[in-house]
Amino acid sequence: MDVFGVFAQFWPELLSGVGITIKLAGLGAIIAGFLAPLLALVRVNGGPAAQVPLRFYISFMRGTPLLAQMFLIYYGSGQFRPFLQDIGLWNFFREPFNCALLAFVMNSTAYQTEILRGGIMGVPHGEIEAGKAVGMSYVMSLRRVVYPHAYRIAWPALGNEIILLIKASALASVVTVFDLMGQTRAIFQKTFDFSVYIWAAVLYLCLTAAFVWIWRRFEHRLSPHIHGKRPSLLGAMTKRETA
């Protein structure tokens, strides 16, 4: 074990891995973050024709291992290669990074949708009525009343979800993406020096700590009037709610 030697020798690889991890988790969270509020609205207000498939989708995403979902997309797409080539999507699915990202987006969308659904349902009915009373349109009341309040409620839980996504992004290494985990495994296979794992652990903890810090900053902006529960390094890393 040569703790500092390993870092001195391999820091460029490790840092590039950190970059890929941030890119994977960041893009995944952001894209899912665009989809979730729309789907959450469907979960709250949608008719059965939209509800039933959406609930199946969410249950499937939450009831199956992310690794299996990733394999389904990455390897599974190979079964439809001629078709995908015909419609010009094969270049997308050929890239392990894209497949991992797609899996993370689909998975995180399911979780974020449920979190936001809780947020929307937590908005007091009176506030929505007050919006109507001043003559707001439906869309406007969503934009000015429902979503701002729902996000304040859901913010800590969304933060937890993104921390989970940062951790889950390590799975991409299994389909040969050289994120932090992928680089770590490659370095270990070269050197058999255990200390590279220690560096990986430290870097992952730094990533989540930095994220928690940023997330809290946003929360202050979002709701200067509430001092509610915030994600903290201690409290944030709760497991996902499955029920």
Partner 1 sequence: MLELFSFGEAGWGDQLLQGLLVTIQLALTALPVGLLLGFAAAGASLSPYRWLRAIGTGYTTIMRGLPELLTLFVVYNGLGLLLNSIVSSWNPDARVELSSFVAGVIALGLVFGAFAGEVLRGAFQSLNKGQMEAGKAVGMRPTQVFFRIMLPQVWRFALPGLGNLWINLLKDTALVSVIALDDLMRMTQVAVRSTKQPFTFFLAACLIYWALCVISEIVLARLEKRANRGVRRA
Residue 168 engages partner 1 in binding (rule: CB under 8 A): yes
Residue 184 engages partner 1 in binding (rule: CB under 8 A): yes
Residue 55 engages partner 1 in binding (rule: CB under 8 A): no
Give the chain's radius of gyration (CA, Å): 21
What residue type is assigned to position 87 of the chain?
Answer: I
Residue 97 engages partner 1 in binding (rule: CB under 8 A): no
Give the interface segment with partner 1, choosing from 28-36, 119-127, 138-146, 235-243 (CB under 8 A): 235-243
3-state secondary structure the chain: CCHHHHHHHHHHHHHHHHHHHHHHHHHHHHHHHHHHHHHHHHHHHCCHHHHHHHHHHHHHHHHCCHHHHHHHHHCHHHHHHHHHHHCCCHHHHHCHHHHHHHHHHHHHHHHHHHHHHHHHHCCCHHHHHHHHHCCCCHHHHHHHHHHHHHHHHHHHHHHHHHHHHHHHHHHHHHHCCCCHHHHHHHHHHHHCCCHHHHHHHHHHHHHHHHHHHHHHHHHHHHCCCCCCCCCCHHHHCCCCCCC
Give the interface segment with partner 1, choosing from 33-41, 122-130, 167-175, 222-230 (CB under 8 A): 167-175
The single residue among 188, 191, 216, 230 that binds partner 1, judged by CB under 8 A, is 188
Residue 240 engages partner 1 in binding (rule: CB under 8 A): yes
Residue 200 engages partner 1 in binding (rule: CB under 8 A): yes
Residue 181 engages partner 1 in binding (rule: CB under 8 A): yes
The single residue among 44, 84, 128, 237 that binds partner 1, judged by CB under 8 A, is 237
Crossing angle for the helix pair 48-63 and 3-45, to the nearest 10 degrees: 160
Give the interface segment with partner 1, choosing from 30-38, 41-49, 131-139, 165-173 (CB under 8 A): 165-173
Residue 63 engages partner 1 in binding (rule: CB under 8 A): yes
In the complex with partner 1, which residue's Cβ is closer, 7 or 80?
80
Separation of alpha carbons 196 and 4, rounded Å: 9
Kindly determine how many residues on this chain lie close enough to bind partner 1 according to the rule CB under 8 A.
Answer: 48
Residue 83 engages partner 1 in binding (rule: CB under 8 A): no
Q: How far is the CB of 104 from partner 1 (least distance, A)?
A: 13
In the complex with partner 1, which residue's Cβ is closer, 19 or 130?
19
Cα of first residue to Cα of last residue in the chain, in angstroms, is 44
Residue 59 engages partner 1 in binding (rule: CB under 8 A): yes
Binding stretches for partner 1 (CB under 8 A):
59-60, 62-69, 71-72, 75-80, 163, 167-171, 173-174, 181, 184-185, 188, 192, 194, 197, 200-201, 204-205, 208-209, 233-234, 237-243
